[in-house]
Every structure is written in structure tokens, then in C-alpha cells.
Amino acid sequence: MLYKTKSDDPEHRFQYARGLQNFGRLERGYRGGLKSAIGTLEKAADIQQNLLDSFPGVDKFAIDLADTQNLLAEVYLLAGLHESDRSSELRQKAHAAAEAASMLFGRLAQQNSAGGASGLAQSLVWLALDGTASADDARRNAQDAEKRLNTLGPEQMLAGSDLVVLAMARSLQGQTEPVLRALKLAVQRGENTAYRFEQHQQLAFKSLMDDAKSAEQLKMLVGKVRETLTP
């Protein structure tokens, strides 16, 4: 209501878009919620893009837009796993969203922003997964993502969400034990979005699922995450 009555105020538009972004993030975590998440996040991105176009020097507008584009890239990729008739279209959308996010976060990373390094690492993982790059380029993107996260500090000090992205980057490089180590640390850090472990079994963690022993360990980690969510 506040947005509708005071939509000319940039701050109100910013807060409304952030609310949409957060809601889309929640929808992303529910089974069957990917379609709703796409609509919500696309609406947020439109508002954020308009804000950034009007105020190109405001970093918080750039950061929120980049975050939303990264979320969209992930959701498009996950949706493509379940909608075979739209798989190519959704992968193209994922590529465009990840490219947009990487440009924005790349600028922030050049300014030595920790958020820039973290966000750019996510973008590079989505670019490695969208199917548009060669196998060699996808591996290089994954390696670059891992290097970006390493600039944030020792693995043991990374936030849970960054550890999951680190695990994805390592999985894309064909590693196994380092992937599981990062995921175990993520659980210890309080990473409680079990969907990231489950839905990415067919995408970022496919290398783990191709090995029976690793697949069983991943399933055990999912169980631990679900235990933390049970009252």
C-alpha cells in the first residue's frame, strides 16, 4: 500500500522491491514455488533496474539489483530442470541474469567490496551451470568463483551461504571431499535452506550424486538441515 500511494519516492520503491526480493527468496525454497518466485523476482528486478537507471551512482540500488539477478539466475536454472519444454529458454534467461549480476558485482569487487566478491562468485557459478559455456570455460568460471571466495578469508570463517556456493564451485571442478567439507561447515554455520542441498542434486551437485558414497553423505546432510528446522 505504501508503494502504491507513494511510488514516486525512490526510498519507498527501494523498500518495496526489497520486500519482493525477500518474498521471492522464500518462494524459491518451497517445492512447486519456482514459478511464483520467478514472477516475484522479475517484478523486483524491474523496479530495481528503473531505480538504478534514475540514480546510477547509488550503490545500494546496484547491490539489490545484482542480488535479485543472481536469485533469478538460480531460479531459472532450477525451473529448467522441471520444465523440459522451456529448458532452453530458461537457461538463456539464467545466462542473461547471471551476466547482468556479474557486471554489477564485478564493479563492486574492483572496489574491494566483500559483497562484490561473494556476489560475483555466485554469478560465476550460475554462468558455469547455464550450459552456454564450453566445458573448459565452465571449469574456469568455477575456479574463478572459488578464488573470489578465498579472498574473503579462511574456509572456516565463511558464512553458510558462501560455503554452499564454494561447494558448488568445487563440485563443478569434479572435487568430492572438499565439497562435502564445505557443506558440513555450512550446516555448522547455520545454513538452513535445505532446498539448496536438495534441488541442486541434479544441477550443481550432480558430481556428488554420480557417486553412491558421496550421494549418501549429501542426503545425510539434508537430514541434518531438516532437523534444525523441526520445532
CATH of residue 80: 1.25.40
Give a yes or no: residue 54 inside a domain.
Answer: yes
Give a yes or no: residue 43 inside a domain.
Answer: yes
The answer to whether 132 and 206 are in contact (CB under 8 A) is: no
**E strands, 59-139, where?**
none
- List pLDDT tens digits, range 181-205: 998 888 888 776 666 778 888 899 9
Q: How sure is the predictor about 220, in pLDDT bands with cuts at 50, 70 and 90?
A: confident
Closest CA relative to residue 99, chosen from 56, 121, 75, 69: 69
Number of domains in the chain: 2
**Could you tell me if 89 and 180 lie in one domain?**
no
Give the count of alpha carbons within 13 A of 36, CB side only. Answer: 13
**Could you tell me if 51 and 89 lie in one domain?**
yes
Give a yes or no: residue 214 inside a domain.
Answer: yes
Give a yes or no: residue 145 inside a domain.
Answer: no
Give the count of alpha carbons within 13 A of 47, CB side only. Answer: 24
Write down the pLDDT at residue 219.
86
**Could you tell me if 44 and 113 lie in one domain?**
yes
**Could you tell me if 159 and 130 lie in one domain?**
no
Write down the pLDDT at residue 2.
44
Higher per-residue confidence, 225 vs 180: 180
Q: What's the domain range around 215?
A: 153-231
Tell me: pLDDT of 1 over 50. no
Give the highest mean pLDDT range of 3-17, 36-50, 199-213: 36-50
Write down the pLDDT at residue 5.
44
Q: CA dist 59 to 28, 55, 118, 137, Å? A: 25, 9, 16, 30
Q: What average pLDDT does this structure show over 129-146?
A: 95
Write down the pLDDT at residue 122.
96
